[in-house]
Amino acid sequence: MDAGEALAPQKHNSPAKGKGRAAQHAAQPRQIWSIATVDALPLLLAFAMASGAGAYFLAPAEPDFEPVLLAPLAMSILIALGRRFLLPSLLQLCVWLAFGAALGMSSAALRARLVAAPVIVAETGPVMVEGWLSEIETGAKGPRLRIDVHAIAGLTPETTPKTVRLTHRSRLEVSSGRFVRCWGVLRPPPAPSMEGEYDFRRQAWFEQLGGVGYVQGRCRGGTLGAPDGILPDIRMKVAAFRRQLAAHVNIAAGDRAGGFAAALVSGDRSYMRVEDQVALRNSGLAHLLAISGLHMAIVGGLVFYLMRRLLACIEPLALRVAVQKPAAIIALAASLAYLILSGAGVSTQRAFIMLAVVFGAVLFDRAALSLRSFAIAMILVILLQPESVMTPGFQMSFAASGALIATYEAWTARRSASDKVLGSFSYSWASLAVTSLVAGTATAPYALYHFDRLAGLGLLANLAAMPVITFVSAPAAAAALILTPFGYGDLGLRVFGYSLEAILWIVQTCTEQAPGGLSPGKQMPGVSLVLFSAALGLAGVARGIWRWLFVVALSGPAIWLWIAAPAMALHWSASGDVFVRLAGGEVHKIRYIDGDGLSPMRFSTLEPSGLCADWPCILDAEIGRIALPRPDADATACHPRADAAYELVPHALTDTGERSVSCAEPVLWSDVVRTGAITLNTKGAPSKRAAPCKARPWKPCGVETD
């Protein structure tokens, strides 16, 4: 180090590396990776584990359990041999990646068997369901009650699900934590409607949710006490406290934003208006509803900041102990309490694990936010909840966090080498804009794949909302907590409610300006999503020009495959709804008949169209004419318009299956019921028909075929 470097001021709490050296390091072609090998291995292991877990869930058939379970052991032996005999680094890296993939796959296979629980195999008639009400969720048709089952009439203990979810359409007169008795109709968790969509049935298996349905009449309170066992009893008491807290916050925070405040404080969304939830999704602020990384970071970070300042004022302690360590322990305990209080959902557990890694790094004098901490958090989540790899929450949260950590590491290095990084903008405002832009860009492929749309003004909504959340909402919530023992907590909650009213105003304004969001018009292929994910991961660990080369080399083929893929032309879902792409390219939703399945998630915002006011309904679609006869018409009668390319048939054919040759090519409701949906693409070919069933733990054969 020369004298000039020794005397250089240390700016922005980051080490001075010498101005002008960033470009020099980036130009060295042999330094492709931005982190040392000891840091790269955990990150590559995390990516490999995610790939292995994803491969298990996407496999067409259940792999043999014993080879999958023993594969990580075999790979670990190969790693040890490679180090012992000094094999080439590239070969050792390949073995390390294979170990990660095997570990992720074995974790998923093992957990799929550990959580095995009975599932309803067919729709039941009205039956008496008895159990403890553990959670109340918001639903479009009424509150959804999640019940820990005690008994179901007509089912033996061996066939009784552990948990069911019932939609309550009448006025709700029971509360969480109570024993309830409901007359309900149950059916198995539904399969996804379209290929590549989120599989609710698979997620229900891992949540031990064995049936869904609806309540006939109202649920009534029962006389049975708390469930047996200490942990179930504590769980019900926490559920009852959460419900009481949500009810109090809902009133104290005001009529307009009370439900929003209750959802943020307790995780209970049942008091929140459905239209507000839809507006949050359309404006790109739906992440505010999920108790996840943002909420955990605010709670943990605020407690850590306050406790660090408070402990620093205690001179005998501050002179003997690094105050950030006890502050980290207290913040971790507060985050754990928030985890339990908010219901400990999957996204909340994932956020807590990541926060625990951050505070653990503080305790052991490591960098709190680094790609290594990010990798450790991902590894722990995959080991504990491998099924979350397939969820939008896992993919979007880790994509955003990884991209932000990589961006701020590069930005910190840049700030140490230059006086200005975004011109005359202050660091606070520049970081707010960069955070919103980077997080939105990193999560865009996953939003397009799972939801087929982007919020048109999502960046603007986040830029406007995040200062309110950070500088008003979070301090107001903390003030409410501090003032509660003195009887003035409602004052803080009212300010909290005012700040959330401002958020809802921002949401409403952005939704009105961009009501439909941005949609590409066709489903992204799964291969494209894998390529986008690989591009994002490599961009995070590469440096200089290499990160851009990786992004272009992988994103280019992903976009080409997406453009070349055929679009959906007609989809008849198990819900009975028909989705048709007309000749102009616009998709319309037609409520045709009543079914028991799900509509596609990507079309969840579509309102029913008025195209079919008269019957028969003839539509000029992109694949030709489509005829919809009257839903209650005689199925054996030919449609009068024989020039229609396709005709939907809402009832079964005759016993012999005969049909006049003059009729259009039929699309049968019986096939929809059997396969879960019928989809025709723009090439006119069906993309989903009956196929031999290959059983998975969450998809038994002989009951339903996909």
The 10s digit of each residue's pLDDT in 101-150 is 999 999 999 999 999 999 998 888 899 999 999 888 887 778 899 999 99
Of 353, 371, 364, the closest CA to residue 328 belongs to 364
Q: Which of 345-354, 410-419, 613-622 bottoms out in mean pLDDT, i.e. has the lowest? A: 410-419
Provide the edge-to-edge strand list for the sheet that holds 677-681.
587-591, 577-581, 568-573, 677-681
Cβ-based neighbours of 577, under 8 Å, separated by 6 or more: 589, 590, 591, 592, 595, 599
Strand blocks (E) in 9-140? 127-137
CA 384 distance to own-chain centroid: 16
- Residue identified by tokens 């996909």 is 706
Least confident of 125-134, 307-316, 509-518: 509-518
- Rounded CA gap, 101 and 442, in Å? 23
State how far the Cα of 442 lies from the Cα of 512, in Å rounded to an integer.
25
Over pLDDT 70: what percentage of the chain? 83
Task: Tell me 386's DSSP state.
Answer: G
User: How is residue 172 written in tokens?
Assistant: 């709700």
pLDDT of residue 652: 53
Altogether, the residues listed in the chain come to a count of 706
Q: What are phi and psi of 263, to 5 degrees?
A: -65, -40
- Dump pLDDT digits (tens) for 665-685: 778 887 787 777 888 887 655
Span 549-589, pLDDT tens digits:
888 889 889 999 888 888 888 888 888 888 888 887 788 88
The answer on pLDDT for 420 being more than 70 is no
Burial class from Cβ neighbours inside 10 Å (0-12, 13-18, 19+) for residue 142 reads middle
Start-to-end CA span in the chain (Å): 66
Point out the least confidently predicted range of 356-365, 407-416, 429-438, 534-543: 407-416
Confidence of residue 507 (pLDDT cuts 50, 70, 90): confident
Site of tokens 């999503």: 529
Q: Is residue 445 predicted with pLDDT exceeding 50?
A: yes
pLDDT of 659 > 50? The answer is: no
683 vs 468, which has greater pLDDT? 468
**Residue 18, pLDDT above cutoff 50:** no
Whether residue 519 has pLDDT greater than 50: yes
Q: According to the model, what pLDDT value does residue 654 have?
A: 41
Q: What is the pLDDT of residue 516?
A: 55
Give the span between the Cα atoms of 104 and 95, in whole angstroms.
Answer: 14
What pTM was estimated for this model as a whole? 0.81
Confidence of residue 690 (pLDDT cuts 50, 70, 90): very low
Spell out where 558-676 has E strands.
568-573, 577-581, 587-591, 617-621, 624-628, 646-649, 665-668
pLDDT at 129: 93
The pLDDT tens digits for 255-269 are 889 989 988 888 888
| Residue of 119, 106, 291 lying closest to 204 (CA atoms) | 119
The token pair that represents 453 in the structure block: 């749309």
DSSP letter for 672, please. Answer: H
Report DSSP letters for 16-31, one per residue: ---TTHHHHHHT-TT-
pLDDT recorded at residue 319: 83
Helix pair 346-363, 392-417: axis angle to 10 deg: 30
Distance CA 437, CA 444 (A): 10
Six token digits for residue 464:
């406007």
d(CA 355, CA 273): 30
Q: Which residues contact 443 (CB under 8 A, 6 or more apart)?
A: 396, 399, 400
Q: Does residue 434 surpass a pLDDT of 60?
A: yes
| Cα separation values, 473 from 300, 429, 494, Å | 15, 18, 10
Average pLDDT of 520-530? Answer: 83
At residue 684, the pLDDT reads 57
Per-position DSSP letters for 588-606, written without gaps between them: EEEE-S--SSPPPGGGTTP
Does 245 have pLDDT greater than 70? yes
- pLDDT (0 to 100) of residue 658: 47
- For residue 244, the one-letter residue type is Q
Two tokens, residue 238:
């926490």
Cα–Cα dist 194/215, whole Å: 28
Type and span of the H or E element at 164: strand 163-167
Mind listing the pLDDT tens digit for each residue in 187-221? 998 888 777 777 888 999 999 999 999 998 889 88
pLDDT digits (tens, 9 = 90+) for 61-109: 889 999 999 999 998 888 888 777 777 677 888 888 999 999 999 999 9
CA distance 198 to 192: 6
How high is the mean pLDDT of the chain? 79
- Per-residue tokens: 352: 């807590």
